[in-house]
Amino acid sequence: MHKLHMPQWAIDRAMERRGKLHPYADLDPRKTALIVVDLQNGFMVEDVAVAYVPAAIEIVPNVNRLASAVRATGGKVFWIKNTMDEASMASWSHYHESATAQARRNRILNMSPGTRGHDLHGALDVKPEDAIVAKYRFSAFIQGASELPQLLHAQGLDTVLITGTVTNVCCESSARDAMMLNFRTIMVSDGNAAVTDEEHNATLASFYAIFGDVMDTDMLIACLERNAGRQQAAE
């Protein structure tokens, strides 16, 4: 698990902007979605990895706990799958052409639909009522990358909990774009994984200072359960 560190400058900046440490602690559980980004074999199983992230294995228990809590309190779970196909290779050609020929072959072999690398990791607790969404860019929220924003809006979900890998690539890209699209966005500090602690913490600090909230798994589960209890008591 990453050694987490939120620098004081990020805390100070967040307080200046928002006046509280956690502006989204009052989240509505029934309007909350857990977004699990790219926890696929292609990042978690070394022999089929396009980018191997060992720390991604370590966050699986937290992701599963959050998924259970989100379902139990009335929210929805979305499993996002990094996907390569001929159309995306062509429409995102400049990015793919910047890689080596071996890297391009590896992406096709291990991140195309039907390949082992494309599959969600076997330790994830995926339920029939969850949604599985293909993603064709780093961000799941950028225009044309996936159907995720439309699915969230259609179900009245306005708060997203971002988990997955890699913290400073697809997770950060998705979180920033979600905020830009007016979702309340929370990055889960112990539910994201990067290659190094430095990269992981740099992303969380930047996101927390400016873009949205950062909480850990225990804090989020406590918020979900507390707020769900208040809703039930008021009904």
- Domains of the chain (ranges, CATH numbers): 30-234 (3.40.50.850)
Please give the Cα distance from 171 to 194 (Å, whole number).
Answer: 10
**Consecutive 10-residue averages of pLDDT for the chain (235 residues):** 95 95 96 98 92 96 98 98 82 75 76 92 98 96 95 98 98 98 98 98 98 98 94 85
Please report the pLDDT score of residue 111 as a whole number.
Answer: 80
Residues 202, 60, 161, 41: is their CA dihedral positive or negative? positive
Structure-token pair, residue 175:
């979180």
Chain centre to alpha carbon of residue 69: 16
Please report the pLDDT score of residue 181 as a whole number.
Answer: 97
Q: Terminal CA-to-CA distance of the chain, rounded, Å? A: 40
pTM of the model: 0.95
Per-position b or e across 214-225, b if 16+ CB within 10 A of its CB: bbebebbbebbe
Please report the pLDDT score of residue 102 as a whole number.
Answer: 78
Please report the pLDDT score of residue 203 as a whole number.
Answer: 98
Please report the pLDDT score of residue 227 as a whole number.
Answer: 94
Please report the pLDDT score of residue 4 as a whole number.
Answer: 94
